[in-house]
Amino acid sequence: MQVDDQSEYECKDLQCFLRGLERRNPGELEFHQAVEEVATTLMPFIQEHRKYQDAQILERMTEPDRVVIFRVTWEDDSGNIRANRAWRVQFNNSIGPYKGGLRFHPSVTLSVLKFLGFEQTLKNSLTGLPMGGAKGGANFNPKGKSDREVMRFCQSMMIELHRHIGEDTDIPAGDIGVGGREISYLFGQYKRLSNRFVGTLTGKGLAFGGSLIRTEATGYGCVYFCENMLVHKGESIKGKSIAVSGAGNVSIYAVEKATELGARVVTLSDSDGFIHDPNGIDAEKLAFVKELKEVRRGRIAEYVDKFRGSTYHPGQRPWIVPVDIAMPCATQNEINFDEAQTLLRNGVIAVCEGANMPTVLAGAHAFAAANILYGPSKAANAGGVAVSGLEQSQNSLRLSWSREEVDSKLQTIMRDIHKKCVTYGASSGGNVDYVKGANIAGFVKVAEAMLAYGVV
């Protein structure tokens, strides 16, 4: 990084800023993409508010506080020695201790974790809770591994990770490939190594400090955000058809809440293909999916053997199905430009992102140009980390809130995030640019804290 390159720091326009970012972070395409999306909407705001520009806040905010990279060595069931790479990207702790998930997937790279950590910083700010931004994970593939192999990996990873985290320092949680099983192994090992029982991880089991509704929070929160956008436009989710992608934690609970509120969810997917059930994935069918994914760790293709009238589409994504609402809940860049166009051609009225950065930049621009309701991930999926924040509060207080209490706080947080997006994103024509609203609202709180700290 060329911190002392004066000319770069005299950048006053977007292109100059992005060229510098690319030069400092070569080849980190996902990170470039996330920053470009944010900087594009923020730059006019920063230019209007010279204090942020003069203090180089965006330049500083796009440089992580620190990155820890380490080897995780473990032994598989056949006695072979395996080695993986793991990271913790501690992005920004201006408004609270570092907070963000861990991802286990073979596609994990530093670029992916930097994009996620950067987004997390703004998302956590939006929740209104005192949480900084971080992300971590490993290029470990949990698919096809036995429980004992996953346990040995988690325990080995924690031997290094525990030095860098703590209940007031950095609090990891789940993400792709890291659910209740992995958090339990990680927390159990953290507790042994630190000889303390504190809430250093969230998403824990209910018997050992977990919060009710944390499992459901991201999916439920995404549906609450979608309903807020629809109600703001005089509409409702009731009676709408929805395409959900993925079949993991976020997808399952998005389907559950959407169905409960009277919508008809017609698709689910995994990395092999998608299922289409025009009759809707009701509570009974969803119970099958939960058991399939959470207990048997099977593939979504099995759905069609069980439920008549449904079809499986190998190698394809759900966005070709005509629906009112799209909820991408699998992974980044899972809606490309052509798929965005297809959704629009088929009359989609809302896209609400459960996954992080699921839409490519050109697709996001197409949604904005079409003036549909477009809820970007940092606003729409903030319910997960928000309830993680509530889990931390309960751990500190040494008590547990009821399901109703947590759900009601989650609904209030999602309503407040929607309100902040409207405050900063409403145009004179009555439309709301939720991307702009979320980016500015998330930025301002972190930026004000950084300004207050001086040159840090």
Catalytic residue list: 135
Residue 124 Cβ vs ligand 2IT, minimum distance, rounded to whole Å: 8
Q: What residue 248 binds from ligand 2IT, ligand NDP, none (CB within 5 to 8 A, per partner kind)?
A: ligand NDP
Number of chain positions touching ligand 2IT (CB under 6 A):
12
Alpha helices in 138-201 (DSSP H): 147-161, 180-194
Q: What residue 331 binds from ligand 2IT, ligand NDP, none (CB within 5 to 8 A, per partner kind)?
A: ligand NDP
Angle between helix 434-453 and 403-425 (nearest 10): 90
Q: What residue 100 binds from ligand NDP, ligand 2IT, none (CB within 5 to 8 A, per partner kind)?
A: ligand 2IT
Using CB positions, name the residue nearest to ligand 2IT. Answer: 101
Residue 87-116 contact track with ligand NDP, rule CB under 6 A, x = bound: ------------------x-x---------
Q: What residue 316 binds from ligand 2IT, ligand NDP, none (CB within 5 to 8 A, per partner kind)?
A: none
Residue 163-192 contact track with ligand 2IT, rule CB under 6 A, x = bound: ----------x-x-----------------
DSSP-assigned letter for residue 301: G
Cβ-based nearer residue to ligand NDP, 20 or 174: 174
Torsion of CA 10, 39, 135, 443, to 10 degrees: 90
Cβ-based nearer residue to ligand NDP, 176 or 417: 176
Cβ atoms 269, 349 nearer than 8 A? no
Contacts of 280 (CB under 8 A, 6+ apart): 259, 264, 265, 266
Q: What residue 330 binds from ligand NDP, ligand 2IT, none (CB within 5 to 8 A, per partner kind)?
A: ligand NDP
Contacts of 99 (CB under 8 A, 6+ apart): 120, 124, 131, 132, 133, 134, 170, 171, 173, 385, 388, 389
Q: What residue 188 binds from ligand 2IT, ligand NDP, none (CB within 5 to 8 A, per partner kind)?
A: none
Identity at 388, one-letter amino acid code = S
DSSP-assigned letter for residue 351: E
Cβ atoms 185, 154 nearer than 8 A? yes
Alpha helices in 233-316 (DSSP H): 249-260, 283-290, 303-306
Residue 31 Cβ vs ligand 2IT, minimum distance, rounded to whole Å: 15
User: How many whole angstroms separate alpha carbon 100 and alpha carbon 380?
Assistant: 16
Number of chain positions touching ligand NDP (CB under 6 A):
24
How many other CB atoms are there within 10 angstroms of residue 266's CB atom? 22
Residue 215 Cβ vs ligand 2IT, minimum distance, rounded to whole Å: 11
Vertex 290: Cα angle to 218 and 267 (nearest 5): 75
Beta-strand runs (E) in 60-122: 66-75, 81-92, 98-104
Query: Closest by alpha carbon to 65, among 11, 130, 14, 135?
Result: 135
Cβ-based nearer residue to ligand NDP, 59 or 200: 200
Which listed residue (92, 94, 184, 356) binds ligand NDP by CB under 6 A? Answer: 356
Contacts of 249 (CB under 8 A, 6+ apart): 174, 179, 215, 218, 219
Burial group, residue 239, by CB count within 10 angstroms (0-12, 13-18, 19+): exposed
Which listed residue (99, 240, 264, 436) binds ligand 2IT by CB under 6 A? Answer: 99
Interaction of residue 202 with ligand 2IT, rule CB under 6 A: yes
Beta bridge partners of 269: 274
Interaction of residue 381 with ligand NDP, rule CB under 6 A: yes
Residue 351-390 contact track with ligand 2IT, rule CB under 6 A, x = bound: -----x---------------------------xx--x--
Cβ-based nearer residue to ligand NDP, 47 or 107: 107
Q: What residue 99 binds from ligand 2IT, ligand NDP, none (CB within 5 to 8 A, per partner kind)?
A: ligand 2IT
DSSP-assigned letter for residue 210: P
* Region of residue 362 (phi > 0: left; psi between -120 and 50: alpha; otherwise: beta): alpha
Q: What residue 121 binds from ligand NDP, ligand 2IT, none (CB within 5 to 8 A, per partner kind)?
A: none
Structure tokens, 427 = 């145009």
Burial group, residue 18, by CB count within 10 angstroms (0-12, 13-18, 19+): middle
Which listed residue (154, 244, 247, 254) binds ligand NDP by CB under 6 A? Answer: 247
Interaction of residue 174 with ligand NDP, rule CB under 6 A: yes
Question: Which residues of this chain interact with ligand 2IT, rule CB under 6 A?
Answer: 99-101, 120, 123, 173, 175, 202, 356, 384-385, 388
Question: Which residues of this chain interact with ligand NDP, rule CB under 6 A?
Answer: 105, 107, 174-177, 179, 218, 246-250, 270-272, 329-331, 354-356, 381, 384
